[in-house]
Amino acid sequence: MLGGYCITDSALAVTQVGTVNAGANQATAAHFVSGDNRLTLENGYSLGGNVQANGNNDVLALGGSADGTFDTSLVGTDASDIFRRFESFEKAGGSAWTLTEGTAQD
């Protein structure tokens, strides 16, 4: 990708298992513009940039069939956070996920 976001649009449902990278000179790999969006991470996902959720009801879900680990300190609203502005958090699928870092999320 030469520039821009790798994933961008409104009202998206994205499941990420592999790698998503930001374009050249871009810090954001995925930008959910508006609407109800859902990003489901499965074990093995990798991000080369941050994810900005600017919709009305944005869900960050941990899912799939393989167990995984997720660092909750990556979630928030600050510029340094990788997963930004998600309103809801869910567990999906048959996997078990271990949460690390202990950052409380509603």
How many structural domains does the chain have?
A: 1
In a domain, 93, yes or no: yes
**pLDDT at position 1 over 50:** no
The parent domain of residue 86 ranges over: 7-99
Angle at 59 between CA 57 and CA 60, to 5 degrees: 155
Per-residue model confidence as pLDDT tens digits over 19-73: 888 887 889 999 999 999 999 999 999 999 999 999 889 999 999 999 999 999 9
Nearest Cα neighbor of 26 from 50, 59, 44 is 50
The answer to whether residue 52 sits within a structural domain is yes
Residue 36, domain member (yes or no): yes
Within 34-75, residue ranges assigned H as helices are: none
pTM for this predicted structure: 0.87
> Please, are residues 41 and 67 in contact by the beta-carbon 8 Å criterion?
no
- The pLDDT of residue 2: 42
